[in-house]
Amino acid sequence: MENSSNFIKSIMKEDLEAGKHDKIVTRFPPEPNGYLHIGHAKSIVINFGLADDFNGQTNLRFDDTNPLKEDQEYVDSIKEDVKWLGYDWDELRFASDYFEEMYNKAVLLIKKGKAYVDDLSADEIRQYRGTLTEPGKNSPFRNRSIEENLDLFERMKKGEFKNGEKVLRAKIDMASPNINLRDPVIYRIAHATHHNTGDKWCIYPMYAFAHPLEDAIEGVTHSLCTVEFEDQRPFYDWVIAECETENKPRQIEFGRLNITNTVMSKRKLKQLVDEKFVDGWDDPRMPTISGLRRRGFTPEAIREFVKETGVSKGSGFVDSAMLDHYVREDLKLKAPRTMGILRPLKVVITNYPEDKVEMLEAENNPENEEMGTRQIPFSREIYIEQEDFMEDPPKKYFRLFPGNEVRLKHAYFIKCEDVIKDENGQIVEIHCTYDPETKSGTGFTGRKVKGTLHWVDAKHAIPAEFRLYEPLILDEDSDGEDDENKTFLDYVNPNSLQIIQGFVEPNMQDVKPQDKFQFFRHGYFNVDPKYSTPDKPVFNLIVSLKSSFKLK
Ligand code: ATP
Ligand code: MG
């Protein structure tokens, strides 16, 4: 990871200098039980970024040892998302391809007297395990002979027992102060079809046993994971030592990424999808990589954001406004600027000739001249924003009101002469006059006005849909944690999506899905790949222009 020095990088450097490894090998190991979210982006940036720093290697490894929750759809989406973030894996691996080797390692442990088949139920195992303050108790099956264990484990594999009837446990120490070392379960029975191995297996290794073996098999040198796994490290090392693997990977933990107002657990995200709070995993409100992509966030912005959050052991909360900051930075020079009216109000310019249409020149991005200019039509009827007119304005309102003059961006000064209402007193349209002397670009200095409004030509504008978003979860700090009275679903924001109909400039006819624009005075928008059509573009609000976030 360029420009960020961190403790993991220092460890890698020392290990290389001490001659422990010829090259650094890392892996990104998602379980294909959901779509990737922005938290995973942190793990991706760290694993790929650090290996790159040392010209090393990174594998994409699907940690698919649990047949019950995994699915090909997730495998495909994860590959797409990693690539989109800008990373290329050296090898694509599936943990399930190692089931045979893992099984053999389990047999080795039995032969060494380091593992046994237990008949206790899951509940009983939990009761026997003890607590943080009390040691556990040995299972009555703990002292089975090696021969009996070998026979029972083989019969587990053959499918002679039902789910939960037996498990294989590591034989370590039921009194260990680290509960993870109190004879953890390493194999369980699950009569289920696996997305990769089909019905070949009915016993599956547990994550804590499988993961170190996967790392060892692939020659991973540094196995990077989040801090919750710190207490698992002694068992990780136990597996590597007792299974006598050739490679000796080392586990290093870093702090999880947490973001305010953002739920980041696949289980919860899946619940939002399954219970239809959102329009799929790629709903623009979701913190998934596919949701952020559809909303309009860029890989560059996500990578910069993640790098800025840094690599440390701590996992504090990061302000979601910081991600917005990085997308604004990224789009500032890249996104063309244009005008869109979100809530239209018609303005008739009464002294402008009926049939005349003139083309006005507009810069595509005043901060980036290379983006050139475009021509926009102007004629007698235009739309402005409803909020840019007030019949009875407060002090310091510099937009349009009866008798006031404002500038139309790229066009002329107009002055409000009359307000036309229907029989119910609702405003129908505004009548203005324009001053031909004030044309934009002609250097007019005769008088000044305080307000500049955006507009589109009514006859030529294209109808467009705008989708405006607020945070999906209204719980600042707690990732919507469940407590006794509430689940995170109680924090779902009922107003997280607002759909409105407006107009955009006629040159927006040719927009393509995922094109990004800055609509003058509104913010950055992305063309929605799902709902946008050539006849009616649909724009997702990525971020507004205003930022409440200040980078330290
Ligand atoms: P979740 O709890 O959201 O389901 P997970 O950790 O179970 O996530 P995995 O598929 O096992 O999901 O994760 C793949 C990798 O991504 C792991 O190494 C995991 O530690 C890392 N990861 C997941 N969430 C975060 C996060 N919020 N910050 C940093 N890394 C994360
Ligand atoms: Mg997991």
Per-residue pLDDT of the chain (552 residues; tens, 9 = 90+): 544 458 999 999 999 999 999 999 999 999 999 999 999 999 999 999 999 999 999 999 999 999 888 888 999 999 999 999 999 999 999 999 999 999 999 999 999 999 999 999 999 999 999 999 999 999 999 999 999 999 999 999 999 999 999 999 999 999 999 999 999 999 999 999 998 999 999 999 999 999 999 999 999 999 999 999 999 999 999 999 999 999 999 999 999 999 988 999 999 999 999 999 999 999 999 999 999 999 999 999 999 999 998 888 877 789 999 999 999 999 999 999 999 999 999 999 999 999 999 999 999 999 999 999 999 999 999 999 999 999 999 999 999 999 999 999 999 999 999 999 999 999 999 999 999 999 999 999 999 999 999 999 999 999 999 999 999 988 766 554 556 677 888 889 999 999 999 999 999 999 999 999 999 999 999 999 999 998 899 999 999 998 655 555
Catalytic status, residue 266: yes
Q: Closest by alpha carbon to 517, among 339, 325, 289, 299?
A: 339
For the Cβ of 166 lying below 6 angstroms from any atom of ligand 1, the answer is no
HSE at residue 315, side-chain half, CA atoms within 13 A, is: 16
Query: How many Å lie between the centroid of ligand 1 and the Cα of residue 39?
Result: 6
Decide if 358 is catalytic.
no
- Cβ(349)–Cβ(434) under 8 Å? yes
> What pLDDT is attached to residue 290?
98
**With a 6 A CB cut-off, is 266 part of the ligand 1 pocket?**
yes
pLDDT of 54: 97
What gap in Å lies between CA 8 and CA 221, rounded to an integer? 12
Question: Is the CATH code 1.10.1160.10 the one for domain 266-331+464-504+509-543?
Answer: yes
DSSP state of 381: E
For residue 339, what are the β-bridge partners? Answer: none
Atom in ligand 1 nearest the alpha carbon of residue 264: 3
Residue of the nearest CA to atom 26 in ligand 1? 39
What's the gap in Å between 207 CA and the centre of ligand 2?
9
Distance CA(440)–CA(529), nearest Å, equals 35
What's the 3-state SS for 480-539?
CCCCCCCCHHHHECCCCEEEEEEEECHHHHHCCCCCEEEECCCEEEEECCCCCCCCCCEE
| Options 266, 268, 293, 307, the catalytic residue | 266
User: Rounded distance, CA 546 to CA 523, Å?
Assistant: 8
* DSSP tally for the chain: helices H, then strands E: 12, 27
CATH 2.40.240.10 positions along the chain are: 337-461
Tell me what pLDDT residue 3 has.
Answer: 42
Please count the other Cβ atoms lying within 10 Å of the Cβ belonging to residue 229.
19
Among protein residues, the one whose CA lies closest to atom 25 of ligand 1? 39
Please give the number of the atom of ligand 1 that sits closest to the Cα of 228. 20
Q: What is the CATH number of domain 7-254?
A: 3.40.50.620
Ranges in the chain annotated CATH 1.10.1160.10: 266-331+464-504+509-543
Whose CA is closest to atom 1 on ligand 1?
265
Length of the chain counted residue by residue? 552
pLDDT of residue 312: 82
Nearest CA to 289 out of 87, 547, 494 is that of 87
Q: Would you state the pLDDT for residue 551?
A: 54
The hierarchical CATH code for the domain 337-461 is 2.40.240.10
Annotation says 256 is catalytic:
yes
Provide the pLDDT for residue 69: 84
Question: 32 CB less than 6 Å from ligand 1?
Answer: no
Q: What is the pLDDT of residue 291?
A: 98
As a whole number of angstroms, the distance between CA 11 and CA 313 comes to 14
